[in-house]
Structure 1
Amino acid sequence: MESQPHMVRPGDDAPTFALKDQKNTTFSLLEHAGERVLLSYHPLAWTEYCAAQMLSLEEKRSVFSSLDTVPIGISVDSVPCKAAWADHLKIRHTPLLCDFWPHGQVARQYGIFRDANGFSERANIIIDQDQTIIFAKVYPVHSVPDIDEIIGFLKKE
């Protein structure tokens, strides 16, 4: 079995990637050089904790914009799944990326894929304008990360 890379840490270069979102639009990390990006990993769509986590990104969209930060949801779900879920939750602006195939490849690159479960950790990872990791934290799977913690961190940077 291939060993998984360590979880990214502040100071690491952000692994680059391009994934489709719920609108079937490609999101490329490289195209966001010069901006901060929040990768908000959630295990699976259609779960209570994941819904609350993604809704917090959508609800705080203007705050993130004022902090020059692009919030992104990301999980191993497929584009059709994410499209239906975003519609159900009324998420209109926050990209919900699909790390579907190869299954969990980006989560693996970031060192947060849970092989035993087939999905990623619940995690928030912030990438700065130079594509360097400046924040990385894993949360309990059955919890909702405190979005105000992330906003507070961004305000200090």
Structure 2
Amino acid sequence: MTDVGWPERGRHAPDFCLRSGPDRWLTLSQLRGRPVVLAFYPADWNPVCSDQMALYQAVLPEFTHFGAALLGISVDGVWCHRAWAEDRGITFPLLADFEPKGEVARAYHAYRLPEGVAERALFVLDRDGHITWAQVSPPDVNPGADGILTALEALTYERQVVS
């Protein structure tokens, strides 16, 4: 696992609007006022992605404890996301970075051009939409949730210190 070099920590996260269902859209700026976890992943139905997203579903109460929204993002379409989420019991939004393919992943420098898929990249954004933590893992490695939870805990601590 390596740190993502750009977008840099402290930098404002690029905004986006992606489909979260056949007739639904989600805009990142809608979530201002709460921490956000962006979990880019290569593809639905990939065994490592299935394990990773199942883990995030299992620890979703921990993310909720920190007031964080969790968003999964891949280049798959909304119908593929819907079938995969139903099959795997995933309840958090899966966003389709489908057309133009990988546009949001590219904005986060989290796109694998040779394969045409998103990197396995994680970003934690603060309540104001600034990147506070980022990590990219090899495509065949489940990064787990420890780094995300540590970053969310640090945000909570910083907020308590400032208050």
- Counterpart in the other structure of 1:72: 71
Give the TM-score, by structure 1 length: 0.91
1:123 pairs, out of 118, 121, 124, with 121
Q: CA deviation at 1:23?
A: 5.8
Question: Any idea what the Cα deviations from partners look like across 1:100-145, whole Å, max 9, x if unmatched?
Answer: 0010000011111111110111010011111111111100100111
- Amino acid aligned to 2:119: E
Aligned residues: 151
| CA-atom RMSD in angstroms | 1.3
- Counterpart in the other structure of 2:62: 63
2:138 pairs, out of 105, 116, 140, with 140
Give the TM-score, by structure 2 length: 0.88
Question: Any idea what the Cα deviations from partners look like across 1:33-83, whole Å, max 9, x if unmatched?
Answer: 111100001001101100111112211111111101111111000001111
1:19 partner SS: strand
- Counterpart in the other structure of 1:8: 7
Q: CA deviation at 1:25?
A: 2.1
1:84, 1:107 → 2: CA distance? 22
Runs of 4+ residues over 4 Å off in structure 1: none
Do the aligned residues in 1 keep the contact of 2:124 with 2:151 (CA within 8 Å)?
no
1:148, 1:133 → 2: CA distance? 17
- Amino acid aligned to 2:93: P
- Amino acid aligned to 1:100: F
Q: Which deviates more from structure 2 when the two are superposed, residues 15-24 or residues 26-35? A: 15-24
Unaligned runs of 5+ in 2: 156-163
* Percent identity for Structure 1 against Structure 2: 34
1:100, 1:75 → 2: CA distance? 8
